[in-house]
Amino acid sequence: MRRGRRLRTGASRLRSGVVLAVGVVLLAGCASMPDSGDVRQVGSTPRADADSPVRVYGVRPGNDEEPLDLVLGFLEATTSDEAEFETARQYLTRRADDRWNPSAETVVLAQAPKVRVERRSDPEGTGYDVVLSGRQLATVDANHAYAPDEKPYEERLHVARSGSQWRIDSLPAGLVLGESDFKRIYRPVNKYYFAELGPDTGKSAVGKDVLVADPVYLRRWIDPVTSTVKSLLGGPTNWLEPVVRTSFPSGTELKSSHLRLDDSNGLRLQLSNAASGVDQLRCHEMAAQLLFTVQDLSSSKVGSVTLEKADGTGLCSLTREEAEGYAPDRINGEAGSQYFIDQERRLVQLENAGDDPVHVPGPFGEQGADLGSVAVARDERTAAGVSHNGRDLYVADLKPGVERGDSRLRSATGGREGGLTVPSWDGLGDLWVADRSPSKPRLVRLAGGVGEPEEVNITGLDGGRIVALRVAADSTRIALLIERRGHTTLWLGRIERATTPADPTLSIRGLRALAPQLNDVDAVSWAGGSRLVVAGTESGGVQELSFVQTDGSPGNSATVPGPGKVQQLAASEDENRPLIAEASDGIVRLPPNENWKTVVKEGTAPVYPG
């Protein structure tokens, strides 16, 4: 029995290049060379925590590696924190090394891959096929975009003689990692691009400079500031690209070789000649994209960004205070209050400072309001209410003396299985609602909340029916609960606007499944620029609350303790605000770092503005 393979871990590199080791872990990897069959599991590399400063380095192949040990060693070396996978490449033939592109794709498995050796049926019998297998959870593409994709995984490598040694001479592009190694090696980063609102640009209360979060996964320890900036310059992910724009001119590249924040948390960088001719306004937009993209790479927020031309002369500088005019959260509204419908079916407002709800001014807070659900505009001046029977949508100002007015939209059917969904306001001040009527299901938008209902074209419903929706503040994305074949699942769509007269005015495209592990989703709410909170159940399980990223990944968020069976759920896109829910104990609230607290025993339909 040979000694198992080792991986080195270290806290830092000394200037001389010597690794300061903080631990060495032996991994089981020994076996005599089989002709076929036996399956071995690759050991996950040691880690106490994803954010631990411990670094992991591979061990080069020994002189007499058998094919099984060679492949195990290669897979272990790919989990190292080496920038160019120098050690892993030593397991390959020169030809395979030239062809292997580890950044082409990363396959994420539930556990590290299982390895099985098969004798190759070639005439000479000089090589072996090695099968990697496991349960695939997701992939990360060459643009660093995460995509859930659960299915069985199986791929083959080939091992052949290279001189007197065995080496891998054929392998798939990319990496194959167990989930625990993936979480240690990669970190989620939000890149920021400007919303492309098309003909609706002029309606935005904050102008055209609405920043949208675009989540990607980048290697945690490999020059994180530089890699993050390069990813931003490379453009948005394929999914988000149709609804956003970048202020960086096409072809802009980074001239600075290694970026880091200075002692005052400022970032200075040189750009290629493609960016040399931009004016100050566009330069400030570029700096804002950079500042908000790199803001979480330091324990304290980035203080400023300075951009320079390729020759080192200045382009512009933007401080954090100046960048507040571009801040993504400025379109969320104040979010100072939560709202719900009390036992008399009237709209009440709940201030964070106290636990006593008060009736709102205007018709929705008066006797006879008869509300079933409600949405409050982000400026908290207007609300939209659906009647208790689910048939009619009303819009009214939240001030004394105004009339409720006529129904803005009527459903062909009502009740629990039909009628109108809870409405949702976007950051443009437009109102969205779905009609669940079995005879005529549809999604509509009311411009300004008072315009004629416009039916929205949806690609990819495949016979499903929208039973709930929440629109993001940036007005480019919409979270949908879609019912198909007796199950309700969570999807995210892009809101695309007409660019030519022949295009539909509004379309929802690019539907992508989020939280695919949940068999049924009961409630969803936006809980940040790229994060939603979900109440749902896995097959055969019990309801849980969890956070999910807009790319379908769990990100760095932990599961939330549940307050009992949740019927409806609301969160603010300001992540520091409490969750509020309708649960078995009534209306309950979860402030940050506290436990759930009951607000009232009787109530329904909790919401934040939006």
Domain limit, last residue, from 279, 294, 329: 329
Is residue 332 over pLDDT 90? no
C-beta neighbour count of 547 within 10 angstroms = 20
Same domain, 456 and 577: yes
Same domain, 552 and 599: yes
Tokens standing for residue 85? 């996978």
The pLDDT of residue 26: 28
Q: Name the band, by pLDDT with cuts 50, 70 and 90, for residue 548.
A: very high
Same domain, 255 and 391: no
Please check whether residue 231 is in contact with residue 188, taking contact to mean a CB–CB distance below 8 angstroms.
Answer: no
- Nearest-angstrom CA–CA distance, 461 and 484: 9
The pLDDT of residue 209: 86
Same domain, 182 and 204: no
Domain limit, last residue, from 186, 208, 226: 186
CB-count exposure of residue 63 (10 Å: 0-12, 13-18, 19+)? exposed
The string of pLDDT tens digits covering residues 474-523 is 999 999 999 999 999 999 999 999 877 777 789 999 999 999 989 999 99
Same domain, 460 and 568: yes
Same domain, 317 and 337: no
Quick check: is 432 in a domain?
yes
- Nearest-angstrom CA–CA distance, 45 and 173: 21
Same domain, 432 and 524: yes
Quick check: is 20 in a domain?
yes
Is residue 51 over pLDDT 70? no
The pLDDT of residue 22: 31
Percent pLDDT > 90 in the chain is: 70
The pLDDT of residue 415: 72
Quick check: is 106 in a domain?
yes
Same domain, 581 and 498: yes
Same domain, 319 and 348: no
- CATH classification of the domain holding 479: 2.120.10.30
Same domain, 401 and 318: no
Stronger pLDDT, 302 or 189, i.e. the higher one: 189
Quick check: is 191 in a domain?
no
Q: Which residue has the tokens 């008072």?
A: 450
The pLDDT of residue 412: 83
Q: Name the band, by pLDDT with cuts 50, 70 and 90, for residue 96.
A: very high
Quick check: is 136 in a domain?
yes
Domain limit, last residue, from 126, 160, 186: 186
Quick check: is 25 in a domain?
yes
Number of domains, the chain? 3
Same domain, 268 and 361: no
- Nearest-angstrom CA–CA distance, 56 and 601: 53
The pLDDT of residue 14: 25
Please check whether residue 56 is in contact with residue 6, taking contact to mean a CB–CB distance below 8 angstroms.
Answer: no
The string of pLDDT tens digits covering residues 170-208 is 999 999 999 999 999 999 999 999 999 988 877 766 667
Same domain, 240 and 346: no
Quick check: is 79 in a domain?
yes
Residues 6+ apart with CB under 8 A from 500: none
Quick check: is 467 in a domain?
yes
Structural domain containing residue 384: 332-607
The string of pLDDT tens digits covering residues 556-600 is 776 788 898 999 999 998 888 899 999 998 999 998 888 999 999
